[in-house]
Amino acid sequence: MEQYQGKTIYNKIAIGTVFLYRKKETQVKRRHIGDTGAEIARFDAAKEIALSQLDAIYQKALKEVGADNAAIFKVHKMMMEDEEYLDSVYNIIRQKGLNAEYAVAATGGHFSELFAQMDDAYMQARAADVKDISERLVAVLGGAGADTHSLESPVILMADDLAPSETVQLDKSKILAFVTRHGSSNSHTAILARTMTIPAVIGIDIQEEWEGKTAVVDGYTGTVIIDPDPATLERMTAKMQEDEKMLQLLRELRGKETVTKSGRKIHLYANISGVSDLAQVQKNDGEGIGLFRSEFLYLDSDDYPTEEEQFKAYKMAAQNMAGKKVIVRTLDIGADKQADYFHLEKEDNPAMGYRAIRICLDRQEIFRTQLRALLRASAFGNISIMFPMIISVQEVRESKRILEEEKTRLREHAILYKDVEVGIMIETPAAVWISEELAKEVDFFSIGTNDLTQYTLAIDRQNPKLDNIYDSHHPAVLRSIQTVIENGHRGGAWVGICGELGADTTLTKTFLDMGIDELSVSPSFILPVREAVRNLD
């Protein structure tokens, strides 16, 4: 087994036999010709054929990869008819008395070098396009017909380089993956591979002896494995199957409602640690953000993130979600999440110590900075604010009072904000037992089953020795959830779950029967949970 590291173009896995794609080498000879007029006519005729080939490729691409991606072949036609390009070809034929093949190859080489030297990745990638049209013209001049490549069975196609036109002309059903030595992630070949959803890796030093061998292309990591051992093969096959199931879910469930067969709808939101997770939320069709763990902004920083820095992050989330709900949990630092600059003292029981809302209510400047950033960002979308680790009505009232003071301050400075929904996390047994009173104070609850399990069962969630008894399905936890939903509704608050248990599809029915309104899960669990809900009566 050998493993090679390249650069990934499209995240997907393929396992199959290697096929080395060799270009038909066209050796361009430099010849002097007598009749330059006839040579120009020969070139013009070849150009017409090449243009009609590009028309055919455009039509094929239009069907397979859509108008936006097919447009590159219109660009190829334009390049082929570009005045400067043609002038160069004509000049070489006319003034130097050289053959058309040579004139095209020399022009193509010159133009593609010019592009390659440009200080812009997009323009550099266009070098491959000029090369592509020039090779086409040379091939037609040499008498080649329309170029087709027939593959008998699906293969992992490996090549030094692949032109966009070659990529489109290959029979997609016969390509498991593309692996190339050259190329860039901006090239049209890369774009086409992504559009055709074919796993692809570039930058691999392809070797002749790989032909016919079994290979694994892991488009997630950019690795190519030749002759995988049985354990690797088994592991990668499982990963590929999981992937395929997920892709099938994506195809079937994106854009669909999270609703049972009898029409009961719940909100299915995503948990994120920062704005870099937003792409995953969009990809997996999150209906909103149910838990933005804002403490990661602090953990990723060497000092307290400023109001401006936080504002930018919250605003980006609000705008990206375009009016969908974005619930930001205020700073939940302490316990397992430590940042040096907070100078938190070492504690005997950090999980039950100075953390989350306790720090915020004590060191209010930190809290107020975050609330101002959140309020300012609220003007750009649909932000809600959620307080963590609540154990009393007083804590909620105090947090809301501070929030109101910050609103007043913004008003005094004529800074826009919206009247955001306010919620709390239910993570402590105390909050469970007073949930009816708490519900009267807030718009919503989100049950943090990770901490709720820890505190209910008195089991440190960080202690690996206790993993086997850390049981989120414990009746005490499930009854707590039931109680919180009932009390929440009685007090006028909607109730969701944002702990890991929310993604446990063996409990989806239980949660719906209990009356849950929302589930917030990691982006990759959104569609499996949607599927589970849609399968319920």
Question: Which parts of 480-499 interact with ligand PEP (CB under 6 A)?
Answer: 498-499
Backbone dihedral angles phi then psi of residue 447, each to the nearest 5 degrees? -85, 120
* 355 belongs to the binding site for ligand PEP (CB under 6 A): no
Other CB atoms within 10 Å distance of the CB of residue 365:
8
Of the two residues 22 and 473, which places its CB atom closer to ligand PEP in the complex? 473
| Cβ partners under 8 Å of residue 58, min gap 6 | 70, 73, 74, 77
Q: Where are the beta strands (DSSP E) in 147-196?
A: 155-159, 175-180
What is the biggest distance separating any 2 CA atoms in the chain, rounded to whole angstroms? 99
Of the two residues 358 and 409, which places its CB atom closer to ligand PEP in the complex? 358
| Cβ partners under 8 Å of residue 205, min gap 6 | 4, 181
Q: How far apart are CA 6 and CA 4, in angstroms?
A: 7
Of the two residues 100 and 519, which places its CB atom closer to Mg ion in the complex? 519
Structure tokens at 35: 């009749």
Smallest distance from ligand PEP to CB 109, Å: 58
Binding partner selected for residue 166 from Mg ion, ligand PEP, none, CB under the kind-specific 5 to 8 Å limit: none
Which range of residues in 191-199, 211-219, 302-310, 443-451 is near ligand PEP by CB under 6 A?
A: 443-451
Of the two residues 370 and 378, which places its CB atom closer to Mg ion in the complex? 370
Q: Where are the beta strands (DSSP E) in 264-333?
A: 267-272, 289-293, 325-329
C-alpha closest to that of 93 among 37, 154, 173, 138: 37
Backbone dihedral angles phi then psi of residue 26, each to the nearest 5 degrees? -115, 105
Is residue 498 annotated as a catalytic residue, yes or no?
yes
Strand partners, 426: 447
Over the window 253 to 292, marking each residue x when it contacts ligand PEP by CB under 6 A and - when it does not, the resulting string is --------------------------------------x-
Residue of 169, 260, 399, 449 interacting with ligand PEP (CB under 6 A): 449
Element of type H or E holding 87? helix 83-96
Of the two residues 187 and 330, which places its CB atom closer to Mg ion in the complex? 330
Of the two residues 80 and 386, which places its CB atom closer to ligand PEP in the complex? 386
C-alpha closest to that of 216 among 231, 137, 208: 231
Structure tokens at 415: 């800074």
**Could you tell me if 49 and 42 are in contact, meaning their C-beta atoms sit under 8 angstroms apart?**
no
Binding partner selected for residue 441 from ligand PEP, Mg ion, none, CB under the kind-specific 5 to 8 Å limit: none
Smallest distance from ligand PEP to CB 112, Å: 52
Smallest distance from ligand PEP to CB 336, Å: 8
Question: Which parts of 295-354 interact with ligand PEP (CB under 6 A)?
Answer: 332
- Angle between helix axes 83-96 and 100-116 (nearest 10 degrees) is 140
Out of 76, 110, 149, 188, pick the active-site residue. Answer: 188
Residue of 203, 448, 488, 523 interacting with ligand PEP (CB under 6 A): 448
Smallest distance from ligand PEP to CB 291, Å: 6
Q: How far apart are CA 386 and CA 18, in angstroms?
A: 53
Which range of residues in 225-233, 309-317, 405-413, 449-457 is near ligand PEP by CB under 6 A?
A: 449-457
Smallest distance from Mg ion to CB 458, Å: 16
Smallest distance from ligand PEP to CB 389, Å: 8
Of the two residues 19 and 296, which places its CB atom closer to ligand PEP in the complex? 296
Smallest distance from ligand PEP to CB 332, Å: 6
Interface with Mg ion by CB under 5 A: which residues? 427, 448, 451
* 451 belongs to the binding site for ligand PEP (CB under 6 A): yes
Question: Which parts of 146-205 interact with ligand PEP (CB under 6 A)?
Answer: none
Counting every residue, how long is the chain? 537
Smallest distance from ligand PEP to CB 396, Å: 17
Helices (H) and strands (E) in the chain, counts: 19, 16
Binding partner selected for residue 129 from ligand PEP, Mg ion, none, CB under the kind-specific 5 to 8 Å limit: none
Of the two residues 6 and 488, which places its CB atom closer to Mg ion in the complex? 488
**Could you tell me if 403 and 421 are in contact, meaning their C-beta atoms sit under 8 angstroms apart?**
no
C-alpha closest to that of 180 among 18, 326, 419: 18
Is residue 188 annotated as a catalytic residue, yes or no?
yes
Of the two residues 164 and 496, which places its CB atom closer to ligand PEP in the complex? 496
Residue of 232, 450, 482, 483 interacting with ligand PEP (CB under 6 A): 450
* 456 belongs to the binding site for ligand PEP (CB under 6 A): no
**Could you tell me if 167 and 183 are in contact, meaning their C-beta atoms sit under 8 angstroms apart?**
no
Strand partners, 158: 20, 179
CA angle 238, 471, 515 (to 5 degrees): 90
Smallest distance from ligand PEP to CB 500, Å: 7
| Cβ partners under 8 Å of residue 444, min gap 6 | 384, 386, 421, 423, 488, 493, 494, 495, 496, 518
* 293 belongs to the binding site for ligand PEP (CB under 6 A): yes
* Three-class SS state of 343: coil
Binding partner selected for residue 499 from ligand PEP, Mg ion, none, CB under the kind-specific 5 to 8 Å limit: ligand PEP
Q: How far apart are CA 481 and CA 496, in angstroms?
A: 10
* 108 belongs to the binding site for ligand PEP (CB under 6 A): no
Where does this chain bind ligand PEP (CB under 6 A)? 291, 293, 332, 427, 448-451, 498-499
The catalytic site residues sit at 188, 498
